[in-house]
Structure 1
Amino acid sequence: MRGDNGFTLIELIITMAVLAIIAAMAAPSMNNLLLSQNLNKSTQTMVSVLNEARAQAVLTRQDVTVNLSIDPVSPTSDQLAKMKQKTLFGWSPSGKSALKAAVNPIVFDMTGKLSSSTADIKIEVCNEASGKKSKVITISRIGAIQRVIEGTC
C-alpha cells in the first residue's frame, strides 16, 4: 500500500494561518527593538563625538566646541571651516531620537575639562516615537563622559 506524501490544501491553509498569527504577535516586539536600537545608536554616536572632541582639545591644546542641535541643520561656511580644523564638532539626532531640551554648545579646554560650564552637564536623549524611553549622558566638570541612566521622558 502506498502512503500519501505532502500536505493537503487544508493543512497548508491552517499552517499559514498559524504562522500569520505568530508573525502578528512578533511585530510590536520587533518595532520596540528597532526603536530601542535607534536610541542606543544616537546616544553612542553622541558619546563618540564628545570623546573625540575632548581628545582633540587635549591633542591640539586648544578649545574645541561641540554643538548639539535639536534638528538636523546644514552647517554654515564658517562652521565647515572649523570642522575641517577639528575645532568644532556637531551632533544631531537620527531617526526617532531627539534631545529633550536645547543644550548650549559644549566647550572642552586644552586639558580636556569643560570650560563652558561650572557644573556637570546632563543631556537627555528621548525616543520621540514612544516617548517613554530615554538615555541620560553626563559630562562632569573634569570632562568625563558617561552614559549613566535609562529613564523616561
Structure 2
Amino acid sequence: MVSDTRFGSGGFTLIELMLGISVAAVLLALAVPSFQNVTANNALRTASADLVTAINTARSQAVNLRKDVVLKQKNSDWSDGWEVEYDTSVSVEGTQEFTPSGNVTVNMSLSELTFRPSGMVSDEAEFTICDDRSGENGRRIRVKKFGVIENETIVCG
C-alpha cells in the first residue's frame, strides 16, 4: 500500500521554530559582549606593538642614516596616530604613519621625540595606551635617554 506524504511531517512547526530562534538569541546575547572584549583587547595590543615598532624604527634609522629621525604625533594628538619622519634627502622610505584602531587613546606630554644619530633620544618619554573601558589593562611604554624601551602593563582609569 502506498501512503500519501503530502500532509506528513516534512518541516518545522511554529513552536519549534520559535524555540530555535529563542536559543539562538540567548547564545548571541552571551557571545557578543565577549567578542567585543576580544576586539578591544586586540586593538590595544596592536596599538602598543605599532608604537614600539615606530620607536625601534626611528632609533635604528637615526643610527643607520646618521641623521636625526623624528617620531611625532599626527593631527596634534597621539590618539590620532603617529609618524616616523625622515630626512627625505637621505632616505627613500619617506614618512611612515601608524594609526590606532578602535577606541584606543595614546597619551604623552611631548608632541615629538627626536632620535639622534647616536641612538639617544632628545627627551625621555612615557606613553600610556588605554581604551574607553575603565578598570581594564593598558600599556605604559617608556623610552629612556639611550633609546631603551620599557613596556609594562598598567590598569587604566
Give the TM-score taking structure 2 as reference length: 0.73
| Greater C-alpha Rg | 2
User: Partner residue of 2:22?
Assistant: 17
Q: After alignment, is 84-93 or 44-53 more displaced?
A: 84-93
Structure 1 residue 112 displacement after superposition: 1.3
Superimposed CA distance per residue, residues 32-52 of structure 1 (whole angstroms, 9 cap, x where no aligned partner): 111111111111111111111
Aligned ranges 1:82-121 → 2 under 5 Å? 82=87, 85=91, 91-114=98-121, 116-117=122-123, 120-121=124-125
User: 1: distance between equivalents of 2:29 and 2:19?
Assistant: 15
Structure number with greater CO (CA < 8 Å, separation at least 6) is: 1
| Structure 1 residues 151 and 83: CA distance shift in structure 2, 3 A | farther
Structure 1 residue 81 displacement after superposition: 7.7
CA contact (8 A) 1:68 1:90 kept: no
Structure 2 residue corresponding to 1:123, chosen from 114, 123, 127: 127
Give the TM-score taking structure 1 as reference length: 0.75
CA contact (8 A) 2:128 2:141 kept: yes
User: 1: distance between equivalents of 2:21 and 2:54?
Assistant: 47
Q: What is the one-letter code of the residue matched to 1:41?
A: T
Q: After alignment, is 135-144 or 81-90 more displaced?
A: 81-90
Is the aligned partner of 1:52 residue 2:57? yes
CA contact (8 A) 1:53 1:66 kept: yes
| Structure 1 residues 92 and 12: CA distance shift in structure 2, 3 A | closer
* More helix, by proportion: 1
User: 1: distance between equivalents of 2:104 and 2:88?
Assistant: 24
Q: After alignment, is 89-98 or 49-58 more displaced?
A: 89-98
Superposed CA RMSD = 3.2
* More strand, by proportion: 2
What is the DSSP-based 3-state SS (H/G/I as helix, E as strand, rest coil) of the residue aligned with 1:142?
coil
User: 1: distance between equivalents of 2:86 and 2:152?
Assistant: 33
User: Partner residue of 1:151?
Assistant: 155
Q: After alignment, is 43-52 or 91-100 more displaced?
A: 91-100
| Structure 1 residues 103 and 50: CA distance shift in structure 2, 3 A | same
Q: What is the one-letter code of the residue matched to 1:39?
A: L
